Structure 1
Amino acid sequence: MSTMASKSDTVEPAPAKDIVIKKKKRILFGITKANWGGAQRYVFDLATHLPADKFEIIVMGGAAGLLKEKLMSAGIRFIEIAELDKDISFLREPRVFWQILKAIRAEKPDILHLNSPKMAGMGTLAGRMAGVAWIVVTIHGWSFHERRFFAIKLLIAFFSWMTALMAHQTILITEKDLRTAKFLPPYKKGKYRLVHNGIGALELQDDASSTRENLKQIIARLYPDKARALDEPIWIGTLAELTPNKDPATLVRAAAGLPWRIPVIIIGDGGEREKLIMLIKKLGAEDQILLAGFIPEAARLLSAFTIFVLSSIKEGLPYALLEAGQRGLPVIATNVGGIPDIIEHEMSGILVPAQNAAEMREAIIHLAGDPARRKRLGAALQKKVAHKFGISRMVRETLAVYNQQEL
């Protein structure tokens, strides 16, 4: 008997063409400023939570800041557009546009995801010129809602409309901004998507007493002679940049007129700091209202507060409010932007009109004197944040926007 195998016994290997290796999609995020605020956190959260096996992530933005540091620590490449800044300079903008266009052409992204008005405006035009297949813009609050001269608002509205027109998909983070989009011709329902910001779950709830002690030590280092103000059982607090849009002055005026000296701690820094210092001095509230400045990872200190207050006149969907709610804090906030998406009046918090120190003061007085109401509102907000504003939902709904390209 022959020991040689017949031809019919031979097993042929599978053809190489049947083996398909999918290439990762390249996403290039763009943002104007590389400091740390709501839009920057949004970019960072998406960049670090999108599936690493499906996407290669790159971020481009203005001069180096905390966003760049965090991205690089996470192993994500950052392209610095050094001259890119929020302020307009007609001499500088052509160079900035060329650098953005050059970066897009060099990276050849499958998806270009742009954030903040200036980067979105320049980036959509550059993306179209570079032939990017899918351009997504996230609106972190329409800029023409800000308080400006009417002619300036019209100009901003025109450029916002042009940006949305050039993008393939536009993400809105608030219901108010989605309603506004319906007035931008030609409105196409499928082109605009509501995707709320989301935050990750707390691994462990912060301990209020130890958190309060930590914040006491920070305040004592800044104000050695005023630390006794923190012996009071009730603390009012906020976490916000000191900018006109956040309007910390209204909180200061509300707090200074309280019938008793509840300490108010403002965590954050910004261009309004010196004005606030002068206002606090003018109102004679130096021993009550304490400016803590910028504190890294400040959200971990929120549990020290009894009541969280946000006095903004313009907002997108504020992360600070989500973080306060996540920790079960009762909240008083202004009825602007996306805040009503989070806070339902008297159900999950208290809403007051913007720039109304008297109504904010009344809300503080009533909430400070009603522990049961504080507990009920804090628990309701905590539940709402957990169910509606998780980061996994934000990533999932953003992926659905990216996948529209394939339809």
Structure 2
Amino acid sequence: MKILFIITQSEIGGAQRYLLEFTRYLISHGHEVTIVAGEGDDELFQQSAPKLPGSDPGSLGAAPCQIKISNLIRNLNPLKDFLALLSILSILRKEKPNVLFLQSTKAGFLGSLAASILNLKPNAQNPKIIYRIGGWSFNDPRSPLANKILLWMEKISARWKDVIIVNSELDRQIAISQKIIPENKIVKIYNGIDPNSINFLPEEEAASKLSGSNPDSFEHIVIGTIANLYATKGIEYLIESANILTKTRNLKPVTFVVIGEGRERPKLEALVKKYNLENNFLLVGRISNARQYLKVFDIFVLPSVKEGFPWALLEAMSAEIPIIATDVGAISEIIGSKKEGILIPPKDAKTLADAMKYLVENPDQGRRLAKNAKEKLKKFNIEKMLSESEAILLPAHRE
């Protein structure tokens, strides 16, 4: 089967992580795969390229065809969007896929529009159109007008799609309540990981590689996260909570570490400087295979203001470290508050600081939560995610 994937950004995030896992699986099952992506650092293309056997747990002997569309961008831009549409039309004419698999709002709209235009031609062979969304973009922190436009883009383009995959019950219910698409066209498939594929670095080695010019910082309690530096990830609230926590009397010294990169860096660096946290709060940038460093964290924090189904949370569960996360997106479907972690409201630095203080002062409770979380992780199996996703590609699943 010939499958064409289109995704808006070529930098690695949750959607790209799913795409990498799924395309590797499809290629290993004999399918022909092409990946089309737009703006970004092209890390998606680099990670999907063939590697030497044994170089990485996800290595492949074969690789998908890769196509870059420079005009395919996340933000609304009529000229670039039109040019991207023309590029997608050209690619579809050439590739003639059996399945068009779309990820993210912009790619979902332009890709399904292009397919619908081509389907108007006589004797056109229509590809099955599958759209996967990991958190509806019209819930992102942006202007109400922009989010209203994005909602209508979803509603308009839904009629051109055969199946929509969501990765949480929350997103399924949002699709139904917003009347985006009939309920029988929505399929929920949870993200999943293979815990045995993660080669965690020993704590001392991870600390040595991350510490840079601050080696003494990792002798403290380390509270950290892995996240792109986007507004949706709520890192500013983690910085504000760090400012509160570091002023707490009689508390063990704490170092904060964020692994990831993004457009919010200047704003976040200014906030770190404003609170005089340069020696306590480290923005270490993007690191390849960041999850292998998780064991260096004593506490993992996910302070997002908007989420889909975060991979980093599953990986932290696998590392068996205590978790604090905001109750957004599918997070409450992954961990129960005070059962497998601590859930807090988003945009609430004081409550986040209180939760971190509690786990610093009560390590036994943290170990209990971490143990429960690792047991709960068995529910989120990568083979189940991949096999259910592949089944949707089959013609029998066309609605």
Q: Tell me, yes or no, whether TM beats 0.5.
A: yes
Partner of 1:81: 69
| 8 Å CA contact 1:252, 1:280 repeated in 2 | yes
Partner of 1:185: 179
Partner of 1:6: none
Partner of 2:230: 243
Partner of 1:14: none
Partner of 1:295: 287
The change in CA–CA distance for 1:140 and 1:204 in structure 2 (over 3 A counts) is closer
The change in CA–CA distance for 1:203 and 1:150 in structure 2 (over 3 A counts) is closer
Any idea what the Cα deviations from partners look like across 1:275-307, whole Å, max 9, x if unmatched? Answer: 222211221222211111111111000011111
Any idea what the Cα deviations from partners look like across 1:246-287, whole Å, max 9, x if unmatched? Answer: 110111111121123311111111112122222112212222
**Structure 2 residue aligned with 1:337, among 329, 332, 348?**
329
Q: Match for 1:154: what amino acid? A: K
Q: Match for 1:103: what amino acid? A: I
Partner of 2:49: 72
The change in CA–CA distance for 1:81 and 1:230 in structure 2 (over 3 A counts) is same
TM-score (norm: length of structure 2) = 0.89
Partner of 1:22: none
The change in CA–CA distance for 1:62 and 1:186 in structure 2 (over 3 A counts) is closer
| 8 Å CA contact 1:248, 1:311 repeated in 2 | yes
Which has the larger displacement, 71-80 or 109-118?
Answer: 71-80
Q: Match for 1:371: what amino acid? A: P
Is 1:108 paired with 2:96? yes
**Structure 2 residue aligned with 1:401, among 377, 381, 392?**
392
**Structure 2 residue aligned with 1:173, among 162, 167, 170?**
167
Q: Match for 2:75: what amino acid? A: D
Is 1:52 paired with 2:40? no
Q: How does 1:205-224 map to 2 (within 5 A)?
A: 206=200, 210=202, 212-221=203-212, 224=213
**Structure 2 residue aligned with 1:305, among 292, 297, 300?**
297
Partner of 1:118: 106
Partner of 2:312: 320
Offset of residue 80 of structure 1: 1.6
Q: Match for 1:28: what amino acid? A: L
Which has the larger displacement, 260-269 or 111-120?
Answer: 260-269
| 8 Å CA contact 1:205, 1:327 repeated in 2 | no
Which has the larger displacement, 362-371 or 182-191?
Answer: 182-191
Number of equivalenced pairs: 375
Extract unaligned runs of 5+ from structure 2.
51-59, 120-125
| 8 Å CA contact 1:134, 1:405 repeated in 2 | no
Partner of 1:364: 356
The change in CA–CA distance for 1:195 and 1:337 in structure 2 (over 3 A counts) is same
Question: Please, what is the CA RMSD of the aligned residues?
Answer: 1.8
Offset of residue 363 of structure 1: 0.5
Q: Match for 1:138: what amino acid? A: R
Extract unaligned runs of 5+ from structure 1.
1-24
TM-score (norm: length of structure 1) = 0.88
Q: Match for 2:368: what amino acid? A: R
Offset of residue 353 of structure 1: 0.5
Which has the larger displacement, 113-122 or 57-66?
Answer: 57-66
Higher relative contact order (CA 8 A, sep 6+): 2
Partner of 1:27: 3
Identity within the alignment, %: 31
Rg larger for: 1
Is 1:41 paired with 2:34? no
Offset of residue 220 of structure 1: 3.7
| 8 Å CA contact 2:199, 2:292 repeated in 1 | no
| 8 Å CA contact 1:33, 1:62 repeated in 2 | yes
The change in CA–CA distance for 1:188 and 1:93 in structure 2 (over 3 A counts) is closer
Is 1:257 paired with 2:244? yes
Which has the larger displacement, 348-357 or 66-75?
Answer: 66-75
| 8 Å CA contact 2:6, 2:36 repeated in 1 | yes
Any idea what the Cα deviations from partners look like across 1:331-389, whole Å, max 9, x if unmatched? Answer: 0000111111212111111100101000001101111111221111111111112x221
Q: In structure 1, what is the Cα distance between the partners aligned to 2:27 and 2:219?
A: 47
- Matched position secondary structure for 2:261: coil
- Matched position secondary structure for 1:148: coil
Q: Match for 1:215: what amino acid? A: A
